[in-house]
Amino acid sequence: MQAGTLSKYLKSGAIWGFIVLELIFFSIAGEFLAVSDKAFMDADNMLLLFKQSAPIGIIAMGMTIIMVNGNIDLSVGAIYAICAIVLLDSMTWPMFAGLGDWVIPVAWALALLTGILLGALNGLIVWKTGVDAFIVTLGSMLGYRGLVFMYNGEQPTSHLNWTLVDFAEAQFMGLHTATWFLLAVTVAIWFLMNRTVHGRNAYAIGNNREAAVNAGIRIGPHMMINFMIIGFLAALSAVVFYSESGSVNPNDGQLYELWVITAVVLGGTKLTGGAGSIISTFGGVVAIQLLRKGLAHIGADTSTVNLVIGLILIVVLFLDRQLNVKGKEELKI
Amino acid sequence: MTAQTPVLRLEGIVKTFPGVRALDGVSLIILPGEVHALMGENGAGKSTLMKVLGGIHQPDEGQIIVDETPVIMSGPLDAKAKGIVFIHQELSLADELSVAENIYLGELPQKHFGLVDWSELEAKTNAILEKLKVSFDAKTRVGDLSIANQQMVEIARALTVDAKAVIFDEPTASLTDAEKVVLFEVISDLQKQGVGIAYISHRMEEIFKITDRISVLRDGQYQGTVNTADTNEEGVTQMMIGRKLDLSRNESHHELGDVALEVRGLSCGNLYKDVSFEVRRGEVVGFYGLVGAGRTEIAETLFGLRNPSSGTILMDGEEVRIASPYDAIERGISLVPEDRKGQGLVLGMNCRDNMTLPQVDDLKSGPFVADGAEIAIFDQYRDKLDIRTPGWKQLVGNLSGGNQQKIVIGKWLSMRPNVLIVDEPTRGIDVGSKAEIHNLLRDLAAQGFAVIVISSEMPEVLHVADRIVAMYSGQIMRTFTSEEVTEENLIAAISGLDTEEVA
Amino acid sequence: MAGLTKKGIGGFLARQGILVAFAVFIIGFTIANPRFIDPDNVMGVLRSSAILGVMALGVTFVVISGNLDLSVGSMMSFSTIVVLDLHDKIGPALAIPAMFAMTLALGAFIGFLVGYLKLNSLIVTLGMLSAIHGLTLTYSGGKNMDIDDKEGTWFSVFGQGDALGIPIPILLFALVAVLLGAMLSKTPFGRKVYAVGGNGTAATFSGIRRARTVFMCYLISAFCVAMAGLIQASRSLGSQNTVGQGLELEVLAAVILGGASLLGGSGTIFKTVIGVLILGFIQNGLLLVGLQFYVQFVVTWIIIILAVWLDIAAKRGKLWSPIA
């Protein structure tokens, strides 16, 4: 079992090693290629890193549950966009006109509720029709995005509420609001996955679905709850981000699912389900964000970043397969 | 035997599926504290009976009675709640989770808010593990355990309830001798606690070692129950097959040609070691042994599906390297695989297309496939093998098992191979078709083919083979000619026992 | 139809349900807006379906072999941009083969990853969607691509020309459909595609080189994408670099509508063509009825879910899933 144990250590430690590598690479490369004068590993820059990781990171926690469970959710970007619209636009609705700043929690609640409902719809379809999650969410990726465009055509939806913006831009004890949300979500989901029955069942279902069914675990409601969780988190991510930004374009959030999945897979969660850890996903999120920042630091543009992210996902898949090869005795099918 | 109240009684169980009467009035009694063997050939109804007992199928007629109360089993969980526990052949464990989480899968002890009560979980698990005297603890990841230990976890799962009856299905298939001893001790402990044990197995040696009574099923019918002490292998076999074991040897031998295939010192990791044999044109070489002996793995290597770690393969005297099934076919090797549905056929395609698949590249007229030539091949082998199908357009998935197998055989015969390997050619096939296929295999030898037959059925291998290679645990124990082989020395060889007569 | 049991009728409806629904749609749309069956409108739908259709033909091969290709949309953007750019740099006669070569190279890369390295096709092509998008942006420098001399080039014939009264795009679509249809249903290669998708293990056990077959399917898909890019570029003689965005889902919807199973092993070119037409007419009908353009997204979503659901339901014999 030599190969197996070695690869296990390699895999769990790998993401942190990768992050260190990135830090070193971009710090050095930054000396030669940097667009700005500041060093890469500047304290402010690193704090900013965590804040910028929040949108993807919050959703990635939910995606970890979904993937451990043996499913996948490609519609998170679209849910993110819809919830952003609900958040910003609801603050302008006439029925809330008299609330003043109290409209903020109402808007938040509506946005979060939207996320939960959209997630529930995905989960319900997967449960009751038996259609595979990737097709269901591939479809809702399109359908929900259609709803986004139907709302305001190709115009952005905006609303600025300065109380909200101030809150979102604030820093508590040195960390940005967004960072706090990311940390809170990470802790909460970690707790869910490792300390609750629901979380342990998720691993069981993803690992050996038949055994779970035979043990009496009800798969349908479980999956639906997971989709509601990720819907909620996509909404939360939108709330956190757009509270500060105040304006959402109908194309926002596009390819978020790719980023999130890349971060989760990079962190070591298996595509087939049954294995994955929240801590490693956090590592994956940081690694991806570090990559984005690093590339920007040395002058690469969005297109290069897209190219690199896409390729990284493929490389990770390849490495995952290589480290899982059972060795000489395998059947060459 | 202590109290005479059975823990479990099955009375007059009837279960039919479309076209098949799988269980025909089966009755069974399991007493507390006994080990009760359930035996029968493949297809006799053992697994159907277990599925009925476990609530996966509902019986059409008959009753299940637990502790003298008639019950209806609605599923495996329900059965477990009523004290009937199964230890299946295929382990159903979540290997990423810990031992404790697996044992209490679906019933993790909870605190409020859905939080797992880890201390209680650990305490309860350790209590059970102590009973089983195992070397691992509650927190070990199941995937890190050996198969034998995983089986222990499965058994531990059974002990989360006060089991009345525990049913073992081929539990020793993947165990070493040392591990078997531990298993039998566990069974003995259960016995002492008054649990009734049902033991499904084909292995005579074990049955006669640990069981108290034996019940036999044949073709879905209950044949009777005997005390183990009052019978022997032959008696039980007679009950299983309804006649004295037809151990007629293959008498005729055909004229032998030159060596078509020779294997020298072939090894593949732990699957098989240092295997050497040869096959001549005109002979049928049988490979006999238990599950895990390595026979199928050798066939897969010859067919290019596995890379050997050492050794040589020679065809017609020339050393060859077979890197893929495509290669193997080029060299004239054909393999009729063990799993006809998973490996031998594309169930969604029709009969003709399945049959011509390996040679479809050669059946061309211009860039297109030559319909006529394909149909001709199908017609030829349909007649030769007497395949029953409404037409070549019929989807192979709709055919009966026997006819499906014939399609696979026809597919490979039409390749006119130098060496034909058939792996379990008549598994799950009705008696009539079985005989046809056996005759066909002898015929092929007569026509000058070199044939290898892998089989787990002794009558079959004795019938068709000119020589028999007995394997155990990845090694060739002995090679017999059909004249010198007897049931005893054959069984001894495949069970790993040293025989006096050295080949 | 004597002897059709209740189950039989249900099963029949499930299989032909799409045609039935389509018939209902046609009648409904025509009543709502008689322009729907106007020959000009029909011709317009056919012409604009051609681009999607050609791509769907290639994806059919990939799907039958048991895989997916989500990169076709961004690959088509790439092809369109590249051929427009090279048109002005090396002339159309060289630009076209160059573009095909580059697109095929991308397809070969994907085919290598999915066929030979056996990586998951959903994730690989999702990653390639982004990577190729990045590649296109880099290539075009973020700008739109336009041909300088729009009047004087013969390049426009592919997208705007006519032959025998039929627009060239439709002819090209039909031509590729006939060729690929013959390849799929009548050649040994086509047989192997069905085998690999129907039961990959059995295909290997039958001596089929599975990796090579999957690889070829992605090459075919890339070829079709290149063809679609050619028609698109030729039609508008200028393009945004996001022209193909989202097409991968419409293509998939058309293929699924045509009855191909996403599990592999079934489907035909002819049925995909029907799926393309159905999708095209439904989208057109929705527009004519006055619904907003983006309603199509929602409708396509519903179509995908319904089509796959009914296919799965027909196979397992139960409408609702047995998940507890």
Same domain, B385 and B295: no
Name every residue whose Cβ is closer than 8 Å to that of residue A103 and which is 6 or more positions away in sequence. Answer: A90, A91, A96, A161
Name every residue whose Cβ is closer than 8 Å to that of residue B382 and which is 6 or more positions away in sequence. Answer: B351, B389, B392, B410
Q: What is the pLDDT of residue A313?
A: 87
Q: What is the pLDDT of residue B382?
A: 92
- Are A203 and B94 within 8 A, CB to CB? yes
Q: What is the pLDDT of residue B501?
A: 43
- Are A317 and C123 within 8 A, CB to CB? yes
Cα distance between residue C280 and residue A171, in whole Å:
52
CB-CB neighbors (< 8 A) of A135 in chain C: 262, 304-305, 308
Q: What is the pLDDT of residue C88?
A: 87
Nearest to C195 among B303, B357, B361 (CB): B357
Same domain, B64 and B202: yes
Whether the CB-CB separation of B234 and B458 falls below 8 Å is answered with: no
Identify the CATH number of the domain in which residue B273 sits: 3.40.50.300
Give me the mean pLDDT over the B337-356 stretch: 93
Q: Position of tokens 């033909």?
A: C57
Q: What is the pLDDT of residue C4?
A: 38
Q: What is the pLDDT of residue C3?
A: 36
Answer yes or no: is B131 within a domain: yes
Query: What separation in angstroms does the CA of B273 have from each of A223, B153, B343, C12, C86?
Result: 47, 31, 25, 55, 61
Give me the mean pLDDT over the C117-145 stretch: 90
Q: Which of B371, B391, B416 is the last residue of a domain?
A: B416
- Neighbours of A, requiring at least 3 CB pairs below 8 Å, are B, C
Nearest chain B residue to A191 by CA distance is B115
Same domain, B254 and B306: yes
| Domains by residue range for chain C, with CATH | 44-314 (1.10.3470)
Query: What separation in angstroms does the CA of A332 have from each of B405, C202, C208?
Result: 23, 12, 13
Residue A9 or B133, more confident: B133
Cα distance between residue C191 and residue C208, in whole Å:
10
Q: How confident is the model at residue A329 (pLDDT cuts 50, 70, 90)?
A: low
- Are A211 and B93 within 8 A, CB to CB? yes
**What pLDDT digit, counting tens, does each position of B263-312 carry?**
999 999 888 999 999 999 999 999 998 777 889 999 999 999 999 999 99
What H or E segment, with its residue span, contains residue C191?
A: helix C188-198
Residue A7 has pLDDT above 80, yes or no: no
Nearest to A306 among C117, C137, C316 (CB): C137
Nearest chain A residue to B303 by CA distance is A332
Residue A195 forms contact with B (CB below 8 Å): yes
Q: What is the pLDDT of residue A10?
A: 61
Interface test with A, best of B97, B149, B161, B298 (most A CBs within 10 A): B97
Residue B358 forms contact with C (CB below 8 Å): yes
Answer yes or no: is B501 within a domain: yes
- Are B309 and A328 within 8 A, CB to CB? yes
Q: What is the pLDDT of residue A330?
A: 67
Q: Return the C-alpha torsion angle A256, A257, A261, A263, nearest 10.
A: 10
Backbone φ and ψ of B303, nearest 5°? -95, 5
Residue A1 has pLDDT above 50, yes or no: no
Give me the mean pLDDT over the A285-302 stretch: 86
Same domain, B143 and B24: yes
Shortest distance between the Cα of C291 and any Cα of chain A, in A, equals 10
Shortest distance between the Cα of C220 and any Cα of chain B, in A, equals 17
Average pLDDT, chain A: 87
Residue C178 forms contact with B (CB below 8 Å): no
CB-CB neighbors (< 8 A) of B95 in chain A: 207-208, 274
Longest dimension (CA), chain B: 80
**What pLDDT digit, counting tens, does each position of B189-233 carry?**
888 888 899 998 877 788 888 999 999 988 788 888 999 888 887
CB-CB neighbors (< 8 A) of B96 in chain A: 203, 207, 274-275
ipTM of the complex: 0.85
Give me the mean pLDDT over the B323-349 stretch: 93
**What pLDDT digit, counting tens, does each position of C95-117 carry?**
999 999 999 999 999 999 999 99
Angle at C106 between CA C101 and CA C109, to 5 degrees: 120
B residues 312-341 lying closer than 8 A (beta carbon) to A: 324
Residue B215 or C160, more confident: B215
| Domains by residue range for chain A, with CATH | 10-323 (1.10.3470)
Q: Which of B416, B439, B471 is the last residue of a domain?
A: B416
The pTM assigned to this predicted structure is 0.85
Residue C167 has pLDDT above 70, yes or no: yes
Residue B374 forms contact with C (CB below 8 Å): no
Residue B144 or B44, more confident: B144
C residues 210-229 lying closer than 8 A (beta carbon) to B: none
Q: What is the pLDDT of residue B143?
A: 87
CB-CB neighbors (< 8 A) of B113 in chain A: 196
Nearest to C131 among A141, A271, A311 (CB): A311
Give me the mean pLDDT over the A82-94 stretch: 91
Residue B437 has pLDDT above 90, yes or no: no
- Neighbours of B, requiring at least 3 CB pairs below 8 Å, are A, C
Closest CA to B111 of A66, A191, A187, A208: A191
Same domain, B265 and B385: no
Cα distance between residue B333 and residue B369, in whole Å:
24
Residue C21 or B156, more confident: B156
**What pLDDT digit, counting tens, does each position of C276-289 carry?**
998 898 888 888 88
Residue C205 has pLDDT above 70, yes or no: yes
Q: What is the pLDDT of residue B132?
A: 78
Q: What is the pLDDT of residue B1?
A: 44
Same domain, B187 and B107: yes
Nearest to B106 among A203, A215, A332 (CB): A215
Residue B356 has pLDDT above 60, yes or no: yes
C40 burial (CB, 10 Å; 0-12 / 13-18 / 19+) is exposed
- Are B369 and C265 within 8 A, CB to CB? no
Residue A12 forms contact with B (CB below 8 Å): no
Shortest distance between the Cα of B80 and any Cα of chain A, in A, equals 10
Answer yes or no: is B110 within a domain: yes
Long-range contacts of A301-304 (CB under 8 A, 24+ apart): A301/C137, A301/C138, A301/C142, A302/C134, A302/C137, A303/C133, A303/C134, A303/C135, A303/C136, A303/C137, A303/C138, A303/C142, A304/C134, A304/C138
**What pLDDT digit, counting tens, does each position of B168-192 carry?**
988 887 777 777 888 898 899 888 8
Q: What is the pLDDT of residue A3?
A: 46
Answer yes or no: is B350 within a domain: yes
Nearest chain B residue to C204 by CA distance is B325
Nearest chain B residue to C209 by CA distance is B326
- Are B369 and C198 within 8 A, CB to CB? no
Whether the CB-CB separation of A68 and A193 falls below 8 Å is answered with: yes
CB-CB neighbors (< 8 A) of C293 in chain A: 149
Residue B126 forms contact with C (CB below 8 Å): no
Nearest to A215 among B105, B305, B306 (CB): B105
Residue C178 has pLDDT above 50, yes or no: yes
Residue C25 has pLDDT above 80, yes or no: no
Q: What is the pLDDT of residue A23?
A: 82
- Are C130 and A271 within 8 A, CB to CB? no
- Are A208 and B77 within 8 A, CB to CB? no
Nearest to C195 among B324, B335, B346 (CB): B346
Q: What is the pLDDT of residue A220?
A: 95
Nearest chain C residue to B339 by CA distance is C202
CB-CB neighbors (< 8 A) of B101 in chain A: 200, 204
- Are B349 and C198 within 8 A, CB to CB? yes
Residue B238 has pLDDT above 80, yes or no: no
Answer yes or no: is B3 within a domain: no
CB-CB neighbors (< 8 A) of A207 in chain B: 94-97
Average pLDDT, chain C: 88
Residue A5 forms contact with B (CB below 8 Å): no
Q: What is the pLDDT of residue B502?
A: 42
Q: Which of B396, B416, B436 is the last residue of a domain?
A: B416
Nearest chain A residue to B108 by CA distance is A197
Same domain, B62 and B196: yes
Listed range (A153-157, B389-393, C19-23, C138-142) with the worst mean pLDDT: C19-23
Residue B497 forms contact with A (CB below 8 Å): no
Count of Cβ atoms closer than 10 Å to residue C294 Cβ? 18
Same domain, B112 and B187: yes
Nearest chain C residue to B356 by CA distance is C206
Give me the mean pLDDT over the B226-248 stretch: 75
Cα distance between residue B394 and residue B397, in whole Å:
8
Give me the mean pLDDT over the A260-271 stretch: 89
Nearest chain C residue to A125 by CA distance is C305
Listed range (A108-112, B52-56, B136-140, B189-193) with the worst mean pLDDT: B52-56
Residue C262 has pLDDT above 70, yes or no: yes
Same domain, B116 and B178: yes
Q: What is the pLDDT of residue C5?
A: 40
Residue A175 or B414, more confident: B414
Same domain, B27 and B155: yes
A residues 99-118 lying closer than 8 A (beta carbon) to C: none
**What pLDDT digit, counting tens, does each position of C45-70 carry?**
888 899 999 999 999 999 999 999 99
Same domain, B111 and B260: no
Print the domain residue range for B350: 338-416
- Are B76 and A214 within 8 A, CB to CB? yes
Cβ–Cβ pairs < 8 A, chains B and C: 70
Give me the mean pLDDT over the B101-129 stretch: 90
Q: How confident is the model at residue A12 (pLDDT cuts 50, 70, 90)?
A: low
Answer yes or no: is B35 within a domain: yes
Closest CA to C120 of A312, B125, A272, B94: A272
Give me the mean pLDDT over the A18-44 stretch: 77
Long-range contacts of B473-479 (CB under 8 A, 24+ apart): B473/B292, B473/B293, B473/B294, B474/B270, B474/B271, B474/B272, B474/B273, B474/B293, B474/B294, B474/B297, B475/B272, B475/B273, B475/B274, B475/B275, B475/B294, B476/B275, B476/B276, B476/B277, B478/B502, B478/B503, B479/B277, B479/B503
Same domain, B318 and B365: no
Q: Report how many domains make up chain B.
A: 3
- Are B113 and A195 within 8 A, CB to CB? no
CB-CB neighbors (< 8 A) of A330 in chain B: 306
Count of Cβ atoms closer than 10 Å to residue A171 Cβ? 13
Q: What is the pLDDT of residue A204?
A: 94
